[in-house]
Structure 1
Amino acid sequence: MRRLVDQLAAQGRQVGRDTVAALLKAARFSLRGNARMPAGSQHPDLEAQFGHLNATVAAFLKAGHPVISLDSKKKEQIGLFTRPGRES
């Protein structure tokens, strides 16, 4: 909150922390911690997703269209660490 007040002051807007807090609350902003899930959890429909991809690839290949395959890695959390979401 303090950083936001300081940044507004740098722009020439003099407001207090209470005003900023009230405006953020009125805009439905709230402080929340990050939700953490253990590593290795999978999407419940993973098999259905791969089935859909395989069917789509087969249809494209049958029609003579090229198919590009990409392999990407999901970022995994190492542990159930949280950040409080507040600055002093």
Structure 2
Amino acid sequence: MGIARSTIGRGLKDLEASGFSQGKVRRAGGGRRSLTRTAATLLDDLRRIIEPSTLGDPMRPLLWVSKSHAKLAVALCAMGHQVAESSIPKLLEQLHYRRQVNRKTKEGSHHPDRDAQFELINQQAMAFQAAGQPVISVDTKKRELIGDYKNAGSDYRPEACPDKVNVHDFVDKELGKAIPYGVYDIGANAG
């Protein structure tokens, strides 16, 4: 490298004598001022932008927003703030917003008609089987694109010889989509 050991030793002694605590690079108060200190109205403006698109239970402290970081940054810039898209997550965190996925909870964990529905299906199935009629169970999956598209799975292939697939997942208008499903005959135990 061309650096003498004595030079490294002197540098280490200088660092120890500098008064910096371990792991810190600057003295307290050094560095760029935070966006909220340089623009006093930034958080209030951000709150006004996200309020119409805020999701979550207002009685709980956890909220989330449905606008992208890029859209929020553009809206703040239009209001005269100098803010980058990469700063938006930190600002949202200061407002107590978090990334969330939706959750199926509107009807509650137990719908009053759920058991009655399955009881009726079970009674009908038993009655048809007793009469010698077939009873089938149909299971469907989500729609799938037909063609050479990337999927999340993997399989063993010769080294450096992956399956070639389309770059984009646009629907092939000729092939369309498939809805995979299975049919199972309960009485015959066959699918």
Asked if TM exceeds 0.5, the reply is no
TM-score, normalization: structure 1? 0.39
Relative to total residues, which structure has the larger helix share, 1 or 2? Answer: 1
TM-score, normalization: structure 2? 0.20
Larger radius of gyration: 2
- With a CA cutoff of 8 Å and minimum separation of 6, indicate the structure with the bigger relative contact order: 1
